[in-house]
Amino acid sequence: MYSDILVRYGEISLKGKNRKLFEKILMQNIKLRIRDIGRFTIERTFGRIYLRKVNELTDKVIQRLTMIPGVVSVSPVVRAGLDLDEFKECALNVLLDALPNGGTFKVETKRANKQYPLKSPEVTRILGGHLLTNYPHELTVDVHNPDVIVYIEIREHDVYIYSKVVAGPGGLPIGASGRGLLLISGGIDSPVAGWMGMKRGVTIDALHFHSFPFTSERSKEKVIELTRILAQYSGRIRLVIGHFTDIQKAIGLHCPEKLHITIMRRMMFRMATKVADMLNAKVLLTGESIGQVASQTLESMEVINAVTNIPVLRPLITADKTEIIDIARKIGTFETSILPYEDCCTVFVPEAPATKPKIKDAEAAEVNLDIDQLIEDAINKSEVLIVTSDGIVAEFDRIGDSE
């Protein structure tokens, strides 16, 4: 029944050049994300995007569109001619679709075409009457709080009729804010942090530290699956599988046990900073949240953060676990995140980790590590996977080959 899709977007605060760029990137992202469903004409007019002649693929396309950051909401619309008798019938179909078993409604008309012979209130009155007479179930008008609003937009050459409004994630289109490197574990938090970064327009690459055989192949599979789920929002994610085994062994051999976690995380941040540089990412993103575990006290964060000189974004820093879980469920990562495979933070948890480490103690504990060499070797042994919503589509043995 519906022919076209109307896409609403944008933050009201965006103006001028920023807005132009936002629109251009969003149009590109939409094209990319629906390409496999079909090639539709996409137009932008008066601050809205329209997808033309989507017809029977409407539901499928809407499901995709509502995952794209930058999309505020979408509506399936019927496009009719300017002839009143024609769009009266369309309005009845739209009402029946939105309100199949009776209830309350109102009509709202917008007349962008000032040449149209009838004024908006007149169109509203005529259509309201038509719907009340022809709708087959109990129907009353409620102008304040109706079950359904039938919107009529009269434009120069045609009329749009719709009632459903499906919410999208809002935010900024991916690509509007530069590139960031997400430190992704198999846990609940980091995929959520990645999604939040994407929702603010950050293009995400991901880095997972894998310590085979301390951590199993299955824990790696889990991270690939989480990345695949995130790629449903962005189209494509480059996932670096960081070789962390030798670093972990060296820490185990040369550093005091109660600082293992602190030093492991300092090594992660050091390596991530190098990888970010190779991939041209300007920031790191993590799933850290104050006080969640020993390494996430403010003191620990200070000691860990001291090894990097690029900004570390922590979108969840003040979120409660329940809030994080709510988002994880909404974006579809939760069920995968709670699968029980260990990550490299859980295999080496010492009995009593330091909750208030000091930078000078961490530095002293690292004197027997050949930090630069360990990181260079780890980077050379890391592999890169290109992940889309369909899974892995390409693999590279070296980070530098993945451009």
Interface residues with ligand ATP (CB under 6 A) are 183-185, 187-190, 207-209, 286-288, 292-293, 295-296, 343-345
Closer residue to Mg ion, CB minimum distance, 192 or 331: 192
Closest by Cα among 103, 150, 147, 96 to 123: 150
Taking the least distance from each CB to ligand ATP, the nearer of 245 and 295 is: 295
DSSP tally for the chain: helices H, then strands E: 14, 16
> At closest approach, how far in Å is the CB of 293 from Mg ion?
8
The distance of closest approach from Cβ of residue 212 to Mg ion in the complex, given in angstroms and rounded to an integer, is 17
In the numeric block, the tokens 């997808």 are attached to 51
Asked whether 179 and 211 are in contact (CB, 8 A), the reply is no
The least CB distance from residue 178 to ligand ATP, in Å, is 19
Q: Could you tell which of ligand ATP, Mg ion, none binds residue 209, using a CB distance below 5 to 8 A set by kind?
A: ligand ATP
Cα separation, 299 vs 65, in Å, equals 42
- The least CB distance from residue 292 to ligand ATP, in Å, is 5
Q: Considering the complex, state which of residue 33 and residue 210 has its C-beta at the smaller distance from ligand ATP.
A: 210
Contact assessment for residue 357 and residue 262, using Cβ atoms and an 8 Å cutoff: yes
Long-range contacts (CB closer than 8 Å, 24 or more residues apart) made by 391-394: 391/224, 391/228, 392/224, 393/236
Find which of Mg ion, ligand ATP, none residue 292 binds, CB within 5 to 8 Å per kind. Answer: ligand ATP
Interface with Mg ion, residue 146, by CB under 5 A? no
Instruction: Find the helix packing angle between 371-380 and 245-254, rounded to 10°.
Output: 160
How many CB atoms neighbour CB 5 within 10 A?
A: 26
For ligand ATP, the closer CB: 128 or 353? 353
Label residues 191-201 b or e (16+ Cβ within 10 Å = b).
bbbbbbbbbeb
Nearer to ligand ATP among residue 84 and residue 231 (C-beta) = 231
Size of the site for Mg ion (CB under 5 A): 2
Cis? peptide before 350, omega within 30° of 0: no
190 touches, from Mg ion, ligand ATP, none (C-beta below 5 to 8 Å by class):
ligand ATP
- Count of all residues that appear for the chain in the document: 403
Nearer to ligand ATP among residue 163 and residue 296 (C-beta):
296
Minimum CB distance to ligand ATP, residue 123 (Å): 54
Interface map 176-195 toward Mg ion (x if CB under 5 A): ---------x-x--------
Q: Amino acid identity, residue 85?
A: D
Instruction: Report which residue's Cβ sits closest to ligand ATP.
Output: 187
Compute how many other C-beta atoms are within 10 angstroms of the C-beta atom of residue 106.
19
Nearer to ligand ATP, 98 or 325 (CB): 325
Taking CA atoms, 344 is separated from 110, 273, 379, in Å, by 58, 19, 17
3 binds, among Mg ion, ligand ATP, none (CB under 5 to 8 A by kind): none
Minimum Å distance from CB 341 to Mg ion? 11
Q: Compare residues 5 and 362 and give the one whose CB is closer to ligand ATP.
A: 362
Q: Which does 183 bind (CB under 5 to 8 A by kind): Mg ion, ligand ATP, none?
A: ligand ATP
Determine the Cα–Cα distance for residues 102 and 97; give it in Å rounded to an integer: 11
Q: Using CB distances below 5 to 8 A depending on partner kind, what does residue 287 bind out of ligand ATP, Mg ion, none? A: ligand ATP
Q: Catalog residues that contact Mg ion under the rule CB under 5 A.
A: 185, 187
